[in-house]
A and B are shown apart, each in its own frame.
Chain A
Amino acid sequence: MAEVVFPFPFPENLELILPEIILAVMGMVVLLMSVFLSVSRQNIVAGVSIATVIAVGASVLYVSGSDASTTFYGYFVLDPFAVYAKLLIAIATVFAMMLSLNYVKDEANVGEYYTIMLFASLGMMLMVSATNFVTMYLGLELMALSVYVLVGYQRDVLRSTEAALKYFILGALSSCMLLYGLTFLYGSTGSFIFTEMGDIISNSGEDQRLAVLTGMLFVLAGLSFKVSVAPFHMWTPDAYEGAPTPITAFMSVAPKVAGLVVFMRILVDVFPGLQAEYTTILMFLAVLSMAVGNIAAIAQRNIKRMLAYSTIGHIGFILLGLIAGSNDGYAGILIYMTIYLFMTMGVFAIIIMMRRDEIQGELLDDFAGLSRVRPGYALAMGLLMFSMAGIPFLGGFWAKYAVFIAVIEADHIILATLGVLFSAIGAFYYIRIVKYMYFDEERVSFNFAKSAPLQVIVVLTTLVIVAIGIYPEPVMAMCRLALAGLV
């Protein structure tokens, strides 16, 4: 047997990847646990999964104190930027699992449901720590594959299966576009590592420009699919409507956080030499997303579909931060995503509670007269809706304020004006729900699901939104500190 000398030593600083190791191992443990537990005791699995994600969040904080920032020969990075994104992903996952407690307890295969959720968040965490396209793409696929399965989890519900199939086919198409773009970039730079590619692209001559631009176009399109930027948003409303509601909440926050973080990392590290070009493309995408999201949402009667369009609109606003291309812009994106996480989770908690006679209350009409029956929930829903609309002195206002200020500082006055305009249009359909709740007669009898975790989420998210609205400085300061790894 030939003597094999390894060209690299054993990877140093492996402790940085501790959160991911915990997630991967516990994912498999949960899978096995569910096999050995009887059907009536499957809720133990849910408890263990939630505890795991909380432990992962804690371990992210623990390892963030480490002096080193890269491991696996520089292919995995844990900078403050990644730490912040991972914390957001962990919080979103915990919330989504708490939303699921009541929802999936009657379903078959509860254990696999939580296992796949754990693996989905593993994929996202690997994505945000990727320093090269190989790790990034594999993390992305791990996340996407898990979410496809979760969307189609209620396989006896036709809507769920249809949504999963549509999402899967369009998701596969977007992966193809991403990979196709990557071949061009690899062909012209000969590297997969973000910063190396960035250096080569910045110094490349005119003859490479066409290939690099083509590659960038496809990579941007592929990523836009994943974060549902218009015109690549077609799958979003169907997938949101068909998916089990806790999964809708999960996929409207966590994959968006991961996708946008990767978006930012790639633009900053790989394409600094093409800033003028990608800004032009992003301006088009941002305006289209804001328009599609805010105008199409008005016509929706199903609240999950409406929130799908609302997500597209919010992503449009978030893109403004990327267009600004400044520290303020990137910090604005992080602030926006933080506040968006809490708003969305609160709204979905209320939607999941609105069960009547085993039917999910998903239509806007179901909210009519809520204030007379359940004034507490109506108040929470009202505050969250005002926040989403960006009414001053609630969290959502500061989110929009941060990106708008950044884009004005970057001298894109027209874009900021359009943003405010679409934000005003969007306010209409958010406030319409408040009108339904407070000024309309009740049309259906309410039958709220009693669930302590859901109530905790509603109260917690509403308090956070009000608190951030009154006193936003700590969150803003935190997001600025988190940029240390990016720029």
Chain B
Amino acid sequence: MKRMEVLKLLLDVKSDGVSIATMQAIPDWYEIGGGPHMHLDNQGCMGGSSATGLGIAIAQPDRRVIIIDGDGSLCMQLGSLVSIASEAPKNFFHFVLVNGIYETSGAQPIPAEDKVDFAALALGAGYPHAFTFDDYGAFARELPAIMAMEGPVLVALKVDQEPADKGVPARPHDWADALRQSLSDVA
């Protein structure tokens, strides 16, 4: 699957939810209009997106939180799967873009790139639902039903390796303010 294609599907279901994107998904997410409204980038601290999203999900239980994680990033804080399962936020939707490489740093393979099963890890950690898709049509067909589930849900999306030629845009240090303000305004 192409990353941009699956991101467009996620944008279609974002609605009034909050999105958090990681690393190389960030420029594509902005390109299709996923940010900056109701959105947060996670860069400069790989592995932090899911736990940051967990905090938002706890504080805003009536709002969907959509995490756009990477396989390399998730590996850096794999224990977060257990912490998220423990909290069991019903509004937490965790999408992991699985391309088997550290894309930003030069496409080096992640550990066990040909063996690791993120959906199985999530289920083993205690997520009630987890899925893997490598076919765009199947993912597009099942996504509405997945978004109707009670979270936490993890979806591993097997995407093509792509050149990291867009760069990750630098964001101002008031990173959190706009989203905090938006969430406050609609509270």
A binds B: no
Listed in ascending order, the chain A residues whose CB lies under 8 Å from chain B are: none
